[in-house]
């Protein structure tokens, strides 16, 4: 209908972590902001997440993690993204992530980390502003 490209977002839950209230709230907020949001469901391997990014051809990947395994899982995910040539996808993270890990995470290519209490508006604005404009 409209020729304006919809922003497609994947919200993913890597690893052994069943806490997905945050992921669902963010997914819902982005949906209400007019985006098409795909949710992977719980307990995804890095391989599953990256393959989903590829098949769904999303513009944005949001990783939600509260298990503490982010420093093990994020590098693997970003490595696979590189390998599959998915370098133009905007990646952000959210959940329980200690401040001292944030610089390391950003170095991996994850553009932003949103902790508890982040206003939804902040996340929506961030995605709108940074989502790649691909054809």
Partner 1 sequence: METSATLMQELQQLANNVINGDKRSIARAITLIENNGEKAQRLIALLYPHTGKTHIVGITGPGGSGKSTLIEKIISELRRRGKTVGVVATDPSSPFTGGAFLGDRIRMQKFTTDDDVFIRSMATRNVPGGIAKATREAVMVLDAAGKDVVIVETVGAGQAEVDIIKVAHTVVVVFAPGLGDEIQAIKAGIMEIADIFVVNKADLENANKAVTDIKASLELNTKEKAWKPPVLQTIALTGEGIEQLVNEIFQHKTFLEKGAGISKRRKKVETELVEAIKDKVADLIIEKLRKKKGFNELVEKILNRKIDPYSAATKLVSELTFNQKED
Q: Please, which residue, 8 or 102, has the CB nearer to partner 1?
A: 8
Minimum distance from residue 46 beta carbon to partner 1 (Å)? 10
Minimum distance from residue 98 beta carbon to partner 1 (Å)? 29
30 token code pair: 């982005």
Binding footprint of partner 1 on the chain (CB under 8 A): 1-3, 5-6, 8, 27-28, 30-41, 44-45, 47-48, 51-52, 54-57, 84-85, 135
Kindly give the residue spans of alpha helices, DSSP state H, lying in 1-135. 21-32, 46-56, 70-83, 102-107, 120-130
- CB atoms near residue 55 (< 10 Å): 10
130 token code pair: 């940074």
Minimum distance from residue 5 beta carbon to partner 1 (Å)? 5
Q: Please, which residue, 54 or 108, has the CB nearer to partner 1?
A: 54
Residue 87 CA to residue 82 CA, distance in Å, equals 6
């Amino acid at each position: 209908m409209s020729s304006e490209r919809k922003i497609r977002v994947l919200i993913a839950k890597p690893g052994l972590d069943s806490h997905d209230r945050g992921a669902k709230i963010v997914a819902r907020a982005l949906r209400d902001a007019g985006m098409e949001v795909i949710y992977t469901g719980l307990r995804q391997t890095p391989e599953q997440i990256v393959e989903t990014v590829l098949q769904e051809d999303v513009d944005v990947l949001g990783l939600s993690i509260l298990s503490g395994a982010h420093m093990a899982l994020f590098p693997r995910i970003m490595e696979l993204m590189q390998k599959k040539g998915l370098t133009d996808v905007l990646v952000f993270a959210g959940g329980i992530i200690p401040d001292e890990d944030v610089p390391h995470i950003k170095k991996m290519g994850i553009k932003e980390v949103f902790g508890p209490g982040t206003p939804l508006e902040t996340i929506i604005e961030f995605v709108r502003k940074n989502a790649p404009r691909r054809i």
